[in-house]
Structure 1
Amino acid sequence: MKNLIPSWVRVPVVFFIIFGLVEYFIDSGDKPAFMEQPIVLLFLLLVLLVLIGIESIVASVDNILYQSLDEAGKARYDAKRSKAPEFKWINNLYKKLLGQKPIKEEHEIILDHNYDGIKELDNNLPPWWIWGFYATIVFAAVYLARYHVFNGENQYQELEAKLAQAKIDIEAYKKTAKNLVDINTVELLTEASDLNAGKTIYEVNCIACHKADGGGGIGPNLADEHWISGGGIKNVFKTVSEGGRAGKGMIAWKQSLKPLEIAQVSSYVLQFQGTSPAEPKAPEGDIWIDPNNPKATTETQETPSDSTQVQ
Structure 2
Amino acid sequence: MKKYFQSTVYIIFVIVTFLALAKSFMVYENPFNVYENPLVWLALIAFVLVVVLKEMVNVIAINKATELQNEKLGIVPEESNAWIKKVLKSWTRSKDIDSEEEIILDHNYDGIQELDNTLPPWWVYLFYASIVFAVVYMVRFHVLDGDDQIVEYEKAVAEAKASLKKYKSTATDLITAESVTLLTDDKDLARGKAIFKLNCASCHIADGGGSIGPNLTDEFWILGGGIKNVFTTISNGGRDGKGMIAWNKTLKAADIQKVGSYVISLQGTTPANPKAPQGEKWVAE
TM-score (norm 1): 0.37
Larger radius of gyration: 1
